[in-house]
Amino acid sequence: MHTGVIALLGSGETAPGMTKVHRALLARNPSGVAINLDTPYGFQENVPQMTQKLVDYFDVSLHRPLQPVSFRNFDAASPIERTIAKQRVREADYVFSGPGSPTYALKQWGPLNLIDDLAEVLDHDGVLCFSSAATLTLGAFTAPIYEIYKVGDDPHWLEGLNLTGRIGLDCVIIPHFDNHEGSNYDTRFCYLGERRLELLEAQLPDAVATLGVDEHTALLLDLVNDEARVVGRGNAYWRHHGTVVTLSPSAPTPLATLRSFVPSRSSEPLSKNLPSSDSLPFDDLVALAGSGSTEAIARLARLAEGASSNGVDVAQLIANVLATRDVARTTKQFELADRLRDALTSAGVVIADAPSGTSWVIATS
């Protein structure tokens, strides 16, 4: 049974009232791991500063550590780095992602197949807390806000991650729904304005609705109770072919109510809740350690960062890591080669390099 929560923030993570939302969601698992996924702003020059601002906010205002998970560019990342990012998302209890560009985030998350990892967080009662740009990516389609609002592209959609489709909500998500920064011109609906939003909605398949969330407002999709709850100053809205359902903080709304306004489509199940390989029996871990097992190698590589792992003394697994290290050395990726050696050393594997090749033994206590 899926027991997690999808929290959709209609504006920034530090907007008034959102601190209480974070605290309540973090309290679901007081000892859980909270991470920040930096991808939406990964193209910017000030990535470290933006990440540190979030880390400081969690530390000072929420009294919880926030672990940075950096995945800035799919093409620039090695297979091991991609796998490490996916592992860290899957294992987190609280995943936050927020400001930046939804277009850029989708370009990185799509080929990474991040949706399966996000779904697994929900499978183990975790929380996905997305705000602003990141929120836009979770629907069936994503509006490229900057390209339309600033560059002048015709209104169009990009394919979204469609995490909402996996819980039976076929929709697009529009944060900043009640924005009024334009003063004398319409900047509602995440700066699109009503005219452009209507043009976009006309392009949607018949079974896809629009889910809007006001600023300073969070919409919590509670999967165990199958209901939506609004927290904050404003409302959320479910729009479909001229019908608008307003979701207010006064009472939860059953998700079945929203589903009833659109043609029925079979929802996909969330990803199968597989156990972490940290807890797999010895024989199962051996099976994971087949040729080219980036999942197993990545888990070992994380030992260099202080992560825990069991069963790393599997002969085939060690052989795979050493083979990868040899390739890294040959191609002059010396930093990666050193990480892999350090990972094995941390796992209790003693390595000896010689002109005839590399040998290893398991250290005895």
The predicted structure's pLDDT at residue 291:
40
Which amino acid, residue 173?
Answer: I
> Any idea which residue has 């209609």 for tokens?
10
In this prediction, residues 252-262 reach a mean pLDDT of 91
Contact 228, 247 (CB under 8 A): yes
The predicted structure's pLDDT at residue 277:
35
pLDDT digits (tens, 9 = 90+) for 73-102: 999 998 889 999 999 999 999 999 999 999
Average predicted confidence (pLDDT) for the chain: 85
The predicted structure's pLDDT at residue 293:
45
In this prediction, residues 149-161 reach a mean pLDDT of 95
The predicted structure's pLDDT at residue 264:
59
Contact 147, 153 (CB under 8 A): yes
The predicted structure's pLDDT at residue 261:
84
What structural domains does the chain harbor?
5-259 (3.40.50.880), 277-362 (no CATH)
Q: Among 104, 103, 105, which residue's Cα sits nearest to residue 37?
A: 105
Secondary structure (H, E, C), the chain: CCCCEEEEECCCCCCCCHHHHHHHHHCCCCCCCEEEECHHHCCCCCHHHHHHHHHHHHHHHHCCCCEEECCCCCCCCCHHHHHHHHHHHHHCCEEEECCCCHHHHHHHHHHHCHHHHHHHHHHCCCEEEEEHHHHHCCCCEECCHHHHHHHCCCCCCEECCCCHHHHCCCEEEECCCCCCCCCCCCCCCCCCHHHHHHHHHHCCCCCCEEEEECCCEEEEEECCCCEEEEEECCCEEEEECCEEEEECCCCCEEHHHHHCCCCCCCCCCCCCCCCCHHHCCHHHHHHHCCCCCHHHHHHHHHHHHCCCCCCCCCHHHHHHHHHHHHHHHHCCCHHHHHHHHHHHHHCCEEEEEECCEEEEEECCC
Strands 209-213 vs 236-240: parallel, antiparallel or unpaired: antiparallel
Write the CA distances from 222 to 3, 127, 162, integer angstroms: 7, 10, 17
In this prediction, residues 165-169 reach a mean pLDDT of 94
* 42 pLDDT more than 60: yes
Question: CA-CA distance, 122 to 99, in Å (whole number)?
Answer: 22
* 236 pLDDT more than 90: yes
Question: CA-CA distance, 155 to 143, in Å (whole number)?
Answer: 8
Question: CA-CA distance, 155 to 149, in Å (whole number)?
Answer: 9
In this prediction, residues 106-125 reach a mean pLDDT of 97
pLDDT digits (tens, 9 = 90+) for 318-351: 777 787 788 778 878 888 788 778 777 776 778 8
* 175 pLDDT more than 90: yes
Q: Among 208, 142, 137, which residue's Cα sits nearest to residue 169?
A: 208
